[in-house]
């Protein structure tokens, strides 16, 4: 009987020790994790902080892009170096940073030469309206292809 009480006491102490040790971690372990990587946690916290700053603190403004002729394709040059289609002219408000940082936009339509232009807004501005005048391409009989 005394032995059974002793075993129960040891099990209770072990359970208490295990439960208090796990509660002190800042992040629950995931399958495949080995130990705690403080560098990875700092990088993750810095990334979340930067994302929060951009989403909630950085001022934003709307940019409306128009063209002559209407219906041209509007593309934005992203940070990865690819052109991303954002709509046709005239566009609804395209959200850009209102920090003076320029964003690169390209407007193109079939039969017209495309135009590329920097667009930026300041924190004091409510929005930006940019107009593109597209020039027609040369007719195919005006090209010189050579010998």
In a domain, 117, yes or no: yes
Distances (CA, A) of 63 to 77, 87, 91, 94, 126: 15, 12, 8, 5, 9
Q: What is the pLDDT of residues 14-40, one digit of tens each?
A: 667 666 655 455 566 666 666 667 888
Residue 95 falls inside a structural domain: yes
What was the pLDDT predicted at 145? 62
Domain CATH for 126: 2.60.40
For 76-103, how does the pLDDT look when each residue is reduced to its tens digit (9 = 90+)? Answer: 998 889 999 999 988 888 888 888 888 8
Number of domains, the chain: 1
Range of the domain at 104: 59-133
73 domain residue, yes or no: yes
Question: 30 has which bridge partners?
Answer: none
pLDDT score recorded for residue 72 = 93
Decide if 52 is inside a domain. Answer: no
The reported pLDDT for the residue numbered 82 is 94
- Residue 140 belongs to some domain of the structure: no
Give the length of the chain. 147
Per-residue pLDDT, 32: 64
Residue 105 lies in a domain: yes
Q: Identify which of 85, 144, 73 has the alpha carbon closest to the alpha carbon of residue 111.
A: 73
């Amino acid at each position: 009987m005394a032995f059974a009480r002793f075993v129960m006491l040891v099990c209770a102490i072990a359970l208490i020790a295990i439960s208090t040790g796990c509660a002190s971690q800042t992040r629950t372990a995931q399958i495949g994790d080995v130990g705690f990587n403080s560098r990875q946690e700092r990088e993750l916290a810095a990334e979340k902080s930067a994302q929060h700053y951009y989403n909630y603190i950085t001022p934003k403004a709307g940019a409306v892009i128009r063209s002559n002729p209407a219906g041209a394709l509007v593309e934005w040059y992203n940070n990865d170096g690819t052109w991303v289609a954002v709509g046709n002219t005239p566009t609804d408000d395209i959200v850009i940073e209102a920090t003076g940082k320029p964003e690169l936009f390209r407007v193109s339509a079939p039969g017209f030469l495309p135009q590329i232009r920097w667009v930026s807004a300041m924190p004091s501005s409510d929005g930006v309206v940019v107009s593109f005048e597209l020039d027609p391409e040369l007719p195919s009989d005006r090209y010189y292809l050579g010998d």
